[in-house]
């Protein structure tokens, strides 16, 4: 199983300086959980350099099916969709070089 967790946010705090929370979550019990650190991807390995699963968008509170593929060292191609994958959007995510 592959899990993807939000490790960085452009705006990690709300206008009052408090950590941003998952206010759009369809489950009212989860709306006060911080977005930073939230697991947004659950996927299983399907062979080769591919995974299939679900991706959660905290901006809309919606969960989508997703296809993930590794494209070289440090680059993931993620396609989120509803129903058929042709009705979706693809994003390319690039690993940030760590200074650790």
DSSP labels for 4-65?
EE----SS-B-TTSSBPB-TT-SSGGGTTSBSTT-EEEEEEEEETTEEEEEEEETTTTEEEE
In-domain check, residue 99: no
Q: Give the pLDDT score at 50.
A: 95
CATH number for the domain harbouring residue 67? 2.40.128.520
Give the residue among 34, 40, 7 at the shortest CA–CA distance from 20.
34
Q: Give the pLDDT score at 42.
A: 97
Q: Which two tokens stand for residue 53?
A: 């699963």
Length of the chain as a residue count? 100
Total domains present in the chain: 1
In-domain check, residue 56: yes
pLDDT digits (tens, 9 = 90+) for 64-81: 999 999 998 889 999 999
Whether pLDDT at 95 is above 60: yes
Quote the domain boundaries for residue 25.
Answer: 2-94
């Amino acid at each position: 199983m592959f899990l993807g967790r939000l490790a960085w946010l452009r705006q990690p705090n709300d206008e009052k300086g408090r950590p941003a929370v998952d206010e759009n979550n369809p489950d009212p019990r989860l709306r006060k959980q911080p977005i930073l650190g939230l697991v947004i991807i659950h996927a299983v390995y399907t062979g080769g350099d591919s995974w299939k699963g679900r991706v959660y968008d905290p901006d809309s509170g919606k969960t989508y099916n997703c296809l993930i593929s590794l494209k070289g060292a440090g680059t993931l191609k993620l396609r989120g969709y509803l129903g058929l994958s042709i009705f979706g959007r693809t994003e390319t995510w690039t690993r940030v070089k760590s200074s650790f």
